[in-house]
Amino acid sequence: MSEKEINRKVVILGSGPAGLTAAIYASRAQLEPLVIDGPQPGGQLTITTDVENYPGFSKGIMGPEMMNEFRAQAERFGTEILNVWIDKVDLSERPFKLYGKESAESEEISTIIKAETLIISTGASAKWLGVPGEEPVPEGLGGNGVSACATCDGFFFRGKPVVIVGGGDTAMEEAMFLTRFASKVTLMHRRDSFRASKIMQERVFNNEKIEIMWNTGIREILGTKEEGVTGVKIFNTQSNEESLFPTQGVFVAIGHKPNTDLFKGVLEMDETGYLKTEGRTMKTNVEGVFACGDAQDSYYRQAVTAAGTGCMAAIDAERFLVEHGEAVKNTETNW
Ligand code: NDP
């Protein structure tokens, strides 16, 4: 089979808030960007229910609906969105090459995309426990009482008891956040000490609404479609003794993994795989390659901050093309 070849000035890999904001900016700068959908078109917000903290939506908006709006806005200005599975990339020289397959399972490369600039917005994925009951609805209770984002979903647990799992800074921060809404927060950790920073641990220890259960693992999340979560089957990680613990919400805070494996050994990353960007810009260590959103941000990880860095990456890409004589300088009002 002969491969289809596509040539673009700006290629954006990933279609969450960062990638689609970059696309809105790049298309309004008449750069005709190509957005490549990842395995989860629309990104992590497509697995969230109501989004109530994104400015501009005073009544809130459903995550998938918001991402449809982002998409329509990008397409309105001429963004093309392509659904291919990128199998490998060659960033050794410009134009950069991205090799796409029909799906992850396909054997053959079907599309070669040549990009003068590349914006990486591949996001991050929450790590999950991998226990029964955790799967997204309709199969499990994910999104119906089980969440990996307290900032997004904590509000829905007003007056209810919740469990949070993890022992790092995210678990501490989210446990504290959840005390604003929940009647009680039980923090379950698989060991007898936290890896979180001392100051965060102190805050948790001093908060009367948080109860800590050491050496505790979750074996199963229990509940029904109608009632949501009703409890968890827990076990003692030392004795393996099992018991049932009633709760109405389970927050998993055991870390995130940036989706950056494609770029290992080519782009500079920190020790956990987040792409490094230069100073206040979105430039990576390869000229003409930019990174934005959760693929380069382990700290804020919000839809609105991802969108902000997507805008920055598009402006950086446009300026790079202008400097290289490959685009006409944009006027401020065009953005
Ligand atoms: P971490 O990797 O630091 O912590 C993950 C926690 O989850 C660990 O306690 C780990 O246990 C536990 N865990 C991992 N896998 C499992 C599993 N399968 N079952 C049960 N428990 C599990 O991730 P974080 O998201 O907490 O933090 C990521 C980075 O972001 C860190 O560098 C952190 O400092 C930073 N951060 C900083 C914040 C701040 O400064 N305000 C806020 C949030 C994050 P164990 O300890 O046994 O390995």
Give the tens place of pLDDT for each residue, 2-12. 889 999 999 99
326 band by pLDDT with thresholds 50, 70 and 90: confident
| Mean per-residue pLDDT, 278-290 | 98
Nearest to 12 by CA among 72, 87, 96, 131: 96
Mean of the per-residue pLDDT values for the chain? 94
CATH fold of 4-125+256-333 reads: FAD/NAD(P)-binding domain (3.50.50)
Compute the average pLDDT of residues 202-220.
98
Contacts (Cβ under 8 Å, ≥6 apart) of 293: 14, 16, 17, 18, 19, 43, 121, 122, 123, 306, 309, 310
Distances (CA, A) of 300 to 119, 165, 173, 275: 19, 20, 12, 14
Annotated active-site residue in 37, 90, 153, 294: 153
Q: Which whole number is the average pLDDT over 130-146?
A: 93
Mean pLDDT computed over 228-246: 98
Nearest Cα residue to atom 45 of ligand 1: 167
How many Å lie between the centroid of ligand 1 and the Cα of residue 114?
Answer: 38
% of the chain residues with pLDDT over 70 = 97
Active site (annotated) includes residue 37: no
**Does the pLDDT value for residue 50 go beyond 80?**
no
The pLDDT assigned to 334 comes to: 56
Average pLDDT over residues 244-261: 96
The pLDDT of residue 151 = 82
Q: Where are the domains of the chain?
A: 4-125+256-333, 128-252
Model pLDDT, residue 204: 98
Q: Is residue 169 annotated as part of the catalytic site, yes or no?
A: no
- The pocket around ligand 1, CB under 6 angstroms, is made up of 129, 165-171, 173, 190-191, 195, 254-256, 298
Residue 321's pLDDT is what?
97
Lowest mean pLDDT among 126-130, 215-219, 313-317: 126-130
Which among 152, 292, 294, 311 is annotated as catalytic?
Answer: 152
The helix/strand/coil state of 285 is coil
Band (pLDDT 50/70/90 cuts) for residue 172 is: very high
Q: Residues 261-286: what's their mean pLDDT? A: 97
Fold of 128-252: FAD/NAD(P)-binding domain (3.50.50)
Q: How far, in Å, is the centroid of ligand 1 from the Cα of 50?
A: 25
Which of 50, 87, 149, 294 is flagged as catalytic? 149
Helix (H, G, I), strand (E, B) or coil at 188: strand
Mutate to test the pocket of ligand 1, among 129, 164, 169 (most ligand atoms within 8 A of CB): 169
Ligand 1 closest atom vs CA 167: 9
What pLDDT, on a 0 to 100 scale, did the predictor assign at position 333? 47
